[in-house]
């Protein structure tokens, strides 16, 4: 919109606003003028009681109070000598006009409060919707679908949230959580937790360790902001499309529902844990093997409506809703949210994920002893596999990266050494050893003979990182496919 157009639009709005603001005063003047020429022995003065209500529909509390005072003053001036039926009747009429002015002021105050609450709720809802992911990332591990249903209450939206985070080696993290309370503070805390989870997920932490660090964050936040009642729930799940296994850990969240391909519904036997913010909780992880096509259902407690239903009854209703839904994820989500048993006045967050698995032809694995002879063997195996996959463009960089990583594993780690290639949306190269030392890049001096391996890996690949893997560690790299 040009400056001239904006000026014209503003000029078109100004007279309308002015007339609207002057409306009560104009009504008061016209009513007073009509009373001056009206019959003095009637009850026409009571018409002035309408003026404060007109002001309440236009002005705020202060403006309505001023117009009400002017109305009472006008009645006194116009009717103080016209004692219709005596002084007692006149005082009753005066009290009626004054009461109308007070009532109109109270109505204006209520209208302003309602507008303030509506604005606050809309602001909190906009904040939460802005902090929630607008588009979940597409991965080869799962097909996802999500729903968020805000509560229609005066308290405003809650702190329900969800996320899908791609991890290394084609894995994916599914997250859902809820911050206690409603309004802007709950939405803001939700955004902080979501950012913290994304940061911790980038470190490739196991679910139980990630929740332990998140628990410390919530506890420190409550202490620093002097909010001892601050609490939140979270469930963090990692699914691996190569092995078909998932690992999960929860803090105060209801267990995820698993809709199997045969239509059977069961709930993961997750050990109940207290919410985040309690501090000192030892979280435990649950490992499961899931068939291909299993629908993992993560949800907040608003879907269960625990205030009206017992937990077992609510879980039975959810299981029946999942079992009777259609085959598509959108159909399942709509069916569950529209269930007649779902009458909660709390926010609802729902995240559905249908599991997939990479074909065996997209994964290649080799195992070598921790000797120097393993370096050329690993390089030759990787070269042959890339040629078989038709990726000659990635041969030089991948061969050099594998050489450096296997050399580091032989020098600083222990055997056996496992090399794995995964062809997904990117080319993933992994080197796993039994050492517990985490490699870190360092700046090598000009005359140093070593210390440049990870710098070379950084230059050759798009991303690299490390994660704990049972009795050792895994160093991985990613390269974009041609």
- DSSP sequence for 269-294: -PPP-PPBTS-S-----EEEE--TT-
461 alpha carbon, distance to own chain's centre: 32
Q: CATH: 3.40.50.1000, 3.40.50.10420, 3.30.565.10, 3.50.50.60. Which one for 360-480?
A: 3.30.565.10
Euclidean distance between CA atoms 230 and 224, whole angstroms:
11
Q: What pLDDT sits at residue 284?
A: 92
Mean pLDDT by 10 residues, the chain (482 residues): 42 48 68 62 66 75 78 71 58 74 80 77 68 82 90 64 93 93 75 91 92 91 74 94 95 94 93 86 93 95 76 87 89 85 73 95 95 93 95 93 91 88 94 82 54 78 87 91 89
Architecture of domain 133-303+344-355: 4-Layer Sandwich (3.60)
Token pair belonging to 118: 């509506």
For residue 468, the model assigns a pLDDT of: 85
Residue 144 CA, chain-centre distance (Å), reads 15
Residue intervals in the chain for CATH 3.60.40.10: 133-303+344-355
The per-residue pLDDT for 188 is: 78
The pLDDT of residue 118 is 74
Q: How far is residue 26's CA from residue 44's CA, in Å, rounded to a whole number?
A: 18
Distance, in Å, from the CA atom of 273 to the CA atom of 252, rounded to the nearest integer, reads 5
Specify the pLDDT at position 5: 45
pLDDT at 152: 61
Residue 350 near residue 298, CB atoms below 8 Å: yes
Q: For the chain, give every residue range classified as CATH 3.30.565.10.
A: 360-480
The token pair at 205 is 């932490």
Residue 387: phi and psi, rounded to 5, are: -65, -40
pTM of the model: 0.75
In the sheet that holds 245-251, the strands lie side by side as: 161-166, 172-179, 232-239, 245-251, 286-289
CA–CA separation, 251 and 285 (whole Å): 11
State the residue for tokens 């990332």.
137
């Amino acid at each position: 919109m040009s400056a001239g157009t904006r000026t014209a639009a503003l000029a078109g709005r100004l007279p309308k606003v002015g007339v609207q603001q002057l409306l009560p005063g104009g009504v008061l003047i016209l009513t007073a003028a009509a009373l001056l020429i009206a019959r003095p022995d009637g009850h026409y003065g009571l018409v002035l009681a309408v003026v404060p209500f007109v002001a309440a529909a236009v002005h705020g509390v202060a403006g309505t109070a001023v117009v009400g005072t002017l109305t009472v003053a006008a009645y006194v001036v116009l009717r103080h000598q016209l004692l219709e039926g005596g002084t007692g009747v006149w005082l009753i009429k005066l009290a009626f006009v004054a009461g109308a002015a007070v009532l109109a002021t109270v109505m204006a105050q209520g209208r302003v409060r309602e507008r303030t609450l509506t604005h606050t709720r809309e602001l909190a809802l906009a904040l939460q919707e802005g902090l929630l992911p607008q588009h979940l990332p597409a991965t080869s591990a799962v097909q996802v679908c999500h729903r968020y249903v805000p509560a229609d209450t005066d308290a405003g939206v809650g702190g329900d949230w969800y996320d899908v985070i791609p991890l290394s080696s084609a894995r994916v993290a599914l997250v859902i959580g809820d911050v206690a309370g409603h309004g802007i503070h709950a939405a803001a805390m939700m955004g902080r937790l979501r950012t913290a989870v994304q940061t911790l997920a980038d470190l490739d932490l196991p679910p139980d360790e990630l929740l332990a660090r998140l628990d410390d964050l919530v506890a420190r936040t409550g202490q620093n902001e002097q909010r001892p009642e601050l609490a939140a729930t979270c469930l963090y799940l990692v699914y691996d499309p190569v092995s078909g296994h998932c690992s999960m850990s929860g803090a105060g969240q209801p267990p995820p529902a698993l809709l199997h391909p045969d239509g059977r519904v069961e709930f993961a036997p997750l050990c109940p844990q207290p919410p985040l913010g309690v501090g000192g909780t030892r979280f435990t992880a649950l490992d499961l093997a899931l068939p291909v096509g299993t629908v993992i259902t993560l949800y907040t407690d608003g879907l269960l409506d625990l205030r009206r239903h017992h937990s077992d009854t609510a879980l039975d209703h959810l299981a029946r809703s999942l079992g009777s839904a259609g085959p598509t994820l959108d159909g399942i989500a709509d069916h569950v949210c529209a269930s007649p048993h779902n009458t909660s006045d709390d926010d609802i967050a729902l995240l559905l994920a249908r599991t997939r698995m990479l074909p065996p032809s997209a994964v290649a694995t080799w195992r070598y002893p921790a000797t120097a002879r393993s370096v050329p063997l690993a390089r030759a195996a990787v070269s042959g596999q890339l040629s078989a996959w038709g990726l000659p463009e990635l041969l030089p960089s991948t061969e050099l990266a594998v050489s450096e990583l296997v050399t580091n594993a032989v020098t600083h780690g222990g055997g056996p050494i496992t090399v794995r290639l995964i062809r997904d949306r990117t080319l993933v190269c992994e080197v796993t050893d039994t050492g517990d030392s985490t490699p870190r890049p360092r700046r090598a001096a000009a005359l140093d003979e070593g210390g440049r391996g990870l710098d070379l890996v950084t230059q050759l690949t798009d991303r690299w990182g490390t994660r704990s893997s049972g009795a050792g560690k895994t160093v991985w790299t990613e390269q974009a496919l041609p």
